[in-house]
Structure formats: structure tokens, C-alpha cells
Amino acid sequence: MFKMQKMQMSDARAEKGRDVQAYSSDSQVVEKRIARAEKGRDVQAYSSDSQVVEKRIARAQMLEGSNSAKISCVVLDWAGTTVDFGCFAPLDAFIAAFKAFGITPTIEETRAPMGLSKRDHIKSMLNEERISRLWQEEYGQSFTGEDIERIYKAFEPMLFSTLEKNDAIIPEVLDAVAKLRQMGIRIGSTTGYSKAMMVIVAHVAKMGGYTPDCLVCPDDTNGIGRPFPFMLWRNLEALGVASINNVIKVGDTVADIAEGKNAGCISVGVIRGSSMLGLSLLQYESKSSAQIVSLHDAARHKFLGAGADFVLEDIGELPGLVRQLNEERK
């Protein structure tokens, strides 16, 4: 039986419904949203085009009779969750990019914002107290938006040069995804990588046997990534998921947890292979059992502190969690 820590969830919040996708199974809610769409004020349609609105209304009606309580979709992160054990591709590129500007960040400073869009990640690092002070000393002023862009332009080619060699699929992922699909679960995904970066990452993953049903990047949501919920919501739209209550968000960073909580769904942290743990597979396997327990306990504490509803030892436990939740929701 997998280990997990379940945070108490509000029945009142569940009763109110956290459906921000306008695909509720409640007939009255559906009717209200249909009426709103017909008036051209349905913010979930993402378009004023009448044909697009009609298609989404039809989808809502089709899903009206579904069991809105059960988990039907899992939205997975990429680096550190499904690929790139330990999330090293962006780590090395961020450190190298900052060094190019005379600043040497620590691993801890570099990993702290993991999961954000890459420009937001750079901004977060520059706002860190020590790095901010070093930048002031080096350049005689605080950083600007132009500085963020300059660092990003140095970072991007460095990341592209390491993506392919660092994006092997994490063990247990293929088996977990296969089991979830056998259960009828749709597999969505979000990432802090850009579309151009994901061309490489997704191709490597596909060659290894992993392709989610949906992939959403910050590029798809007007450049707005985590911790905002828009990428996750876009998965619901693309996959025809009836309610945010049908979704679990799974990731390896604080930003992943925040994305899920801000979207209104169950948020799950995964320890093994995570940026939170920050170990390569070789480093991980070299640790003693006692060291692994200690490292996992520390990571679990951070995930729960960030608001995670559950924390899994590894992603192989995910199908069991989904099965348990759906049993409880019968």
C-alpha cells in the first residue's frame, strides 16, 4: 500500500463545486452557462465565434450525465515528474546563464523557483536576497526587465544544448500511465518549458514510449505559466473534462502544487526523481535506506507545507491513489 499524506479537504468547497471550466454535470449550472454563452459572455469559450461556442455547449451537454465526482483526468508535469530524473537540464542551464553575467547562484537558489516559466524563474532568482545584492554590486543598480531578457537569451541556447541528453523517461512512468489509461483516465500535462523546448522534450519522450493526451505550455496561455491555473484549465477544455473536481495535478515542485491548488483540484507531489529531492538516478541509488528515508521525509514536509493534498514516494503509486479516491467517491 503506498504511503501518502492526505490533507483535510473542505466538503463545503466540494459542494460549491470548483468547476471553472463551465462543463458542470449539474443541469442548472449547465443551463445558466449555456444562456451566458448565448449572450456572448461565456469566458470559458475563449472565443466569440458562435460555432466554437456551440461546440462547447454540445460538449457540456454530452458530459452532463457523467459522474462528476470521480477522477477522470490526471495532469502531469514534465521535467522531474515524467522525464529528466532530478530535473537537471534547466538547473545546469540557469547556473551557466547567471555565471555569464558574473553571478554564481547556488543549487538551492537555482532550484527554488523550479516549475515556473523560464523568464519568471530568472526573475525569481534575481529577486533572491543574495543574488540581488550581488547584481547590485556587479552592475551598480537593481536588475531591470531588459536584464531578465538578456539572461534568458543566454539561458535558452544553453538549455537547448542539454535537453535531449537529459530527458530520459523516469522509471515507473510508462507503467503508471498504462495503468491509468486502462482505468479510462485521460493524461494531460503542463510545463514551464516553451513550445520550442517541448518540441525536443516531447519527441524524446515519444521515442521512449510516453505521449500524454494533451500538452499545454505557457505559450498557449499568453505567456502566463505557474503558479497561475490557466495551463491546467486549458487541459480540461482540450480533453473535455466535465469538472475541475475530476482532476488530479501531479508534479515535483512547489509551483506544481500551487498550480493545482489555484486551479481548484487535488494537488499531488512526487518525491523520487523530483527537483525537490534534487538527485540524479545514480546519486539516488547510491544512498543508503536510512538516507533515502530522511531525504523523502524532508521533501514530503516541503510538499505538504506548500499545500499538497497527497505526497507519493514515486509516480508508480499514482494509479493506486486514483483507484482509492474513486472507490471513496462511489
Q: What is the set of active-site residues? A: 77, 118
CB atoms within 10 A of CB 318: 25
Are the beta carbons of 306 and 164 closer than 8 angstroms? no
- Grid coordinates in use for 19? 468547476
> Cα-flanking dihedrals φ and ψ of residue 201, to 5°?
-60, -45
- Polymer length in residues for the chain: 330
Are the beta carbons of 169 and 209 closer than 8 angstroms? yes
CB atoms within 10 A of CB 268: 27
Are the beta carbons of 7 and 309 closer than 8 angstroms? yes
- Grid coordinates in use for 85? 530524473
Phi-psi region of 256 (alpha: psi -120 to 50; beta: other; left: phi over 0): alpha
Are the beta carbons of 293 and 277 closer than 8 angstroms? no
CA distance 179 to 160: 32
Q: What angle do CA 28, 33, 39 make, to 5 degrees?
A: 135
Distance of CA 248 to the CA centre of its chain: 10
- Grid coordinates in use for 298? 524532508
CA distance 134 to 5: 40
Give the residue from 133, 126, 98, 96 showing the smallest Cα distance to 112. Answer: 126
Are the beta carbons of 210 and 169 closer than 8 angstroms? yes
